[in-house]
């Protein structure tokens, strides 16, 4: 990890929709080189956006969760994430993971609303509730050590296209916008040629309705996590009984609703912990915990260390004054 690098986290609105600009209105396209160590927890939180996103792992590995699926992405692998999907990712091991994120608006593919390209070639894929993602297997064969089997031969072509897109975007030579659009259309055609959209469409509308309910649950938690929250409150917000509310969340998110609430509260406590300006009791209350002992117990279970030790570990990697200069040390007297 770079010692000068500040930690960050994805910024979303209360519904979990990412607020980051993916390019501009005139050219809604963005390529960014990322790594999970940039985030305070080595992971980015659940969020969603209307843009399409490709992720290409360049070093290390990660566990990428999209809707109700968890995918292990290794070096050389790529992932297509469909428009509007809930997604998050975390490290697969103690090591870091570097990756390239390619995000763009679907209208870059079809031009204008109501066009034939939109109707025939874009809408059927992005509105397909059974096609949340596609995993392109890079493996070692991308580097010529093995060959792709017949079913995966097109994966290498997609991955090569994503690498071309990254190089074109970063070099920004004349006509680069046209070249980017050409590469995107080529990848899109490959996906249409090799994806069985009719089969994927067999996913009934119940899934999409349940994802919308989960978005509303997450929104309610994010807006009210500092208050005393009971299951009755969340279930009433999405017009479900308590048991059905828990069942739906557990089925799609692979964790209980209560565990998600605890994790979210702990995540929200991290900036205060790193600042070191408030007592443990104050931080616990601000994060929605009734007492500091329970907060510390949950924190240790989720992070593997106490709040104090977590802060020490994070600042070990950040640019801080040498401890030999006590006047410049960041104080830690409250926790």
Q: Which residue has the higher pLDDT, 63 or 331?
A: 63
Predicted local confidence at residue 20, as pLDDT: 54
Order of strands across the sheet that contains 69-73: 43-47, 87-91, 62-66, 69-73
CA distance 138 to 161: 13
Query: Residue 202 in contact with residue 194, Cβ under 8 Å?
Result: no
Predicted local confidence at residue 99, as pLDDT: 97
CA distance 255 to 257: 7
Predicted local confidence at residue 197, as pLDDT: 64
Percent of the chain that is helix, strand, coil (3-state, to 5): 45, 15, 40
Average pLDDT over residues 50-70: 94
Predicted local confidence at residue 40, as pLDDT: 67
Q: Is the pLDDT at 15 greater than 90, yes or no? A: no
Please list, in sequence order, all residues whose beta carbon lies within 8 angstroms of the beta carbon of residue 211, skipping any fewer than 6 positions away.
67, 86, 252
Please list, in sequence order, all residues whose beta carbon lies within 8 angstroms of the beta carbon of residue 69, skipping any fewer than 6 positions away.
132, 133
Alpha helices in 92-204 (DSSP H): 107-110, 116-117, 123-126, 153-171, 176-194, 197-200
* Predicted TM-score of the model (pTM): 0.70
Residue 268 is encoded by which pair of tokens?
């929200």
**Cα dist. 65→47, 79, 98, 271, 286 in Å?**
11, 11, 17, 24, 28
Phi, psi of 70 (to 5 degrees): -115, 130
Residue located via tokens 């009934």 = 204
As a whole-number percent, the residues of the chain with pLDDT over 90 amount to 57
List, for residues 225-252, the tens digit of each pLDDT value.
999 999 999 999 999 999 999 999 998 8
Q: What is the mean pLDDT of the chain?
A: 83
CA distance 126 to 44: 23
Query: Residue 309 in contact with residue 316, Cβ under 8 Å?
Result: no
Residue 10 pLDDT class (50, 70, 90 cuts): low
Nearest alpha carbon to residue 67 among 235, 215, 264, 186: 215
Predicted local confidence at residue 334, as pLDDT: 32
Please list, in sequence order, all residues whose beta carbon lies within 8 angstroms of the beta carbon of residue 125, skipping any fewer than 6 positions away.
82, 131, 188, 191, 192, 195, 197
List, for residues 135-168, the tens digit of each pLDDT value.
999 865 444 434 444 457 899 999 999 999 999 9
Predicted local confidence at residue 312, as pLDDT: 82
């Amino acid at each position: 990890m770079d010692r000068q690098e500040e930690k960050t986290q994805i910024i979303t609105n209360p519904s979990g929709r990412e607020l980051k600009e993916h390019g501009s209105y005139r050219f809604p396209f963005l390529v960014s080189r990322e790594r999970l160590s940039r985030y305070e927890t080595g992971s980015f939180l659940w969020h969603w956006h209307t843009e399409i996103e490709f992720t290409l792992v360049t070093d290390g590995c990660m566990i990428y969760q999209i809707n109700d699926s968890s995918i292990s992405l290794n070096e050389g692998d790529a992932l297509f994430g469909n428009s509007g999907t809930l997604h998050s990712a975390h490290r697969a091991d103690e090591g870091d993971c570097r990756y390239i994120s390619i995000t763009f608006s679907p209208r870059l593919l079809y031009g204008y609303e109501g066009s034939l390209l939109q109707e025939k070639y874009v809408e059927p894929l992005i509105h397909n509730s059974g096609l949340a993602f596609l995993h392109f297997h890079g493996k070692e064969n991308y580097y010529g050590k093995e060959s792709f089997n017949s079913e995966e031969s097109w994966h290498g072509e997609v991955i090569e296209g994503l690498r071309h897109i990254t190089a074109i975007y970063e070099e920004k030579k004349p006509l680069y916008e046209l070249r980017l659009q050409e590469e995107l259309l080529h990848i899109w055609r490959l996906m249409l040629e090799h994806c069985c959209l009719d089969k994927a469409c067999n996913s009934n509308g119940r899934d999409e309705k349940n994802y919308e309910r989960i978005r509303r649950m997450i929104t309610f938690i994010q807006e009210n996590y500092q208050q005393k929250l009971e299951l009755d409150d969340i279930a009433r917000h999405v017009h479900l009984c308590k048991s059905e509310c828990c069942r739906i969340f557990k089925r799609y998110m692979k964790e209980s609703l209560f565990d998600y609430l605890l994790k979210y509260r702990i995540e929200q406590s991290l900036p205060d912990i790193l600042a070191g300006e408030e007592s443990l009791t104050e931080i616990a209350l601000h994060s929605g915990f009734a007492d500091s002992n329970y907060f510390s117990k949950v924190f240790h279970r989720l992070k593997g260390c106490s709040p104090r030790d977590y802060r020490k570990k994070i600042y070990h990697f950040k640019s801080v004054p040498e401890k030999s200069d006590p006047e410049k040390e960041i104080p830690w007297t409250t926790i």
